[in-house]
Structure 1
Amino acid sequence: MSYCAAIEYMPEERKALHKAYHDTLYGFPIHDDNELFCRLVLEINQAGLSWETILKKEATFRKAYHNFNIEKVAAYTEADRERLMADPGIIRNRLKINAAIENAKTILALQKEHGSFEKWIAAHHPKTKEEWVKLFKKTFRFTGGEIVNEFLMSTGHLPGAHTPDCIIYKEVMQKEPMWARQ
């Protein structure tokens, strides 16, 4: 057994940061709506950038977005938008900031209707990647194909986070990712 090739062949100076995410978060199911929202916001902010950039900024993202508390982010005002635009610890892109706030409002509506964001996702399972992308584009802002794929793969809703020969694959499978229940 070894690690996924991306980790196995990564230069040592970058490996620790990526390995921590790979070994404990990537592909593992998330059952907390605020953490699902966190992953969605981080994936949206990664668009056009490296995942390493996002991993390095995760703590400042958490602070800036009130630890991804959906209710708090949904209530952000214009002053909050400007505060985020001025925060050098996050990605200062107005479209991505607006998407986070609007997506928080959408998730609140989904929670009201389905009980939770997680239950909304489960209610649509299983779908192909293409079907998921279509649904997310219809429901959320700033959610293209790669964002949706990585969000769902990284949260255990689509396969592919780890190769079957990766030593973490077995741990992920013990957590019963949604895709394995098909």
Structure 2
Amino acid sequence: MEIKRCPWAKKDIDIEYHDNEWGKAVHDDNKLFEMIILEGMQAGLSWNTILNKREDMRLAFDNFNPEIIAKYDIAKKEQLLLNPNIIRNKAKINALVTNAQAFLRIQEDYGSFDSYIWRFVDDQPIINSWTEISQVPISTEISDAISKDLYARGFKFVGSIICYSFMQAIGMVNDHMVWCEQYKMNLG
């Protein structure tokens, strides 16, 4: 019997991500940092490109540890730009460091990034009921608010579309199709 999945999960790497991560609630700050960085790295690229380079980025970016990344200097950034296994975009590499610093400030202000980000949805996932991929929005008023707030706090590459993708990835919103087998598993 064929497993029913959202239509975008076609390749093995997409299926693995769809079935095991996408839309599942994340409350671990290190994982939240990884996902917001990956979403920003994806700007202008396919998510498949990001998934294919994810392990190499984990290695290059010190396992997405914001405390280490926040201290990257010019030499480290130049070294990263020479690494063919990661996204080698100067603006995105600079944003990596800036975002790590801003992330740490939010942790200081709120006790955790988790407390900060989940307050935008009152600590409960938004459950949608889409039947077709065309119904899924690319941004919402909430992603607009998150984007505006993150920019005000010094983040880069956190436009509303990126923030909505981040919300989907970390389970702040369940955008699995109602007929997808993961939909009921992600009802909170």
The separation in 2 between residues aligned to 1:58 and 1:107, in whole angstroms, is 20
Partner of 2:6: 4
Matched residue SS, 2:56: helix
Of 74, 78, 84, the residue aligned with 2:80 is: 84
Q: Spell out, residue by residue over 1:147-166, the C-alpha distance to the aligned partner (whole angstroms, 9 max, x if none).
A: 11101111011332x11211
The TM-score, its normalising length taken from structure 2, stands at 0.83
Tell me whether 18-27 or 77-86 shows the greater mean CA deviation: 77-86
Structure with greater helix percent: 1
Letter in 1 for 2:158: T
CA-atom RMSD, angstroms? 1.5
The structural deviation recorded for 1:137 is 2.9
CA contact (8 A) 2:106 2:113 kept: yes
Unmatched tracts of structure 2, length 5 or more? 123-140
Residue number in structure 2 paired with 1:55: 51
Q: Of 85, 108, 114, which residue of structure 2 is paired with 1:118? A: 114
The answer to whether structure 1 residue 32 and structure 2 residue 28 are counterparts is: yes
Correspondence 1:13-162 to 2 at 5 A: 15-126=11-122, 128-139=142-153, 140-160=155-175, 162=176
Q: C-alpha distance in 2, partners of 1:155/1:17?
A: 18
Does 139-148 or 61-70 show the bigger shift?
Answer: 139-148
> How far off is 1:99 after superposition?
0.8
Once residues 81 and 44 of structure 2 are traced to their aligned partners in structure 1, the CA distance between those partners, rounded to angstroms, is: 18
The aligned amino acid for 1:20 is E
How far apart are 1:78 and its partner, in Å? 1.1
User: Which residue is 1:179 aligned to?
Assistant: none
Are the counterparts in 2 of residues 136 and 148 from structure 1 also a CA contact under 8 Å?
no
Q: Which amino acid aligns with 1:6?
A: W
Q: Within 1, Cα distance between the matches of 2:102 and 2:93? A: 14
Q: Structure 1 regions of 5+ residues with no counterpart?
A: 177-182
Asked whether the 8 Å contact 2:81–2:90 carries over to 1, the reply is yes
Aligned equivalents of 1:29, 1:73: Cα separation in 2: 25
C-alpha deviation, 1:29, in angstroms: 1.2
In 1, the alpha carbon distance for the partners of 2:111 and 2:172 equals 18
Looking at structure 1, the residues matched to 142 and 38 of structure 2 have their Cα atoms a distance apart, in angstroms, of 22
Residue 141 of structure 1: how far off its partner (Å): 1.0
Amino acid at match of 1:166: C
- Aligned pair count reads 167
TM-superposition CA deviations, 1:12-55 (whole Å, max 9, x none): xxx21110000001011112111111111111111111111111
Moved over 6 A (4+): none
Retained in 1: the 8 A contact 2:147–2:163?
Answer: yes
Moved more, 116-125 or 68-77: 116-125
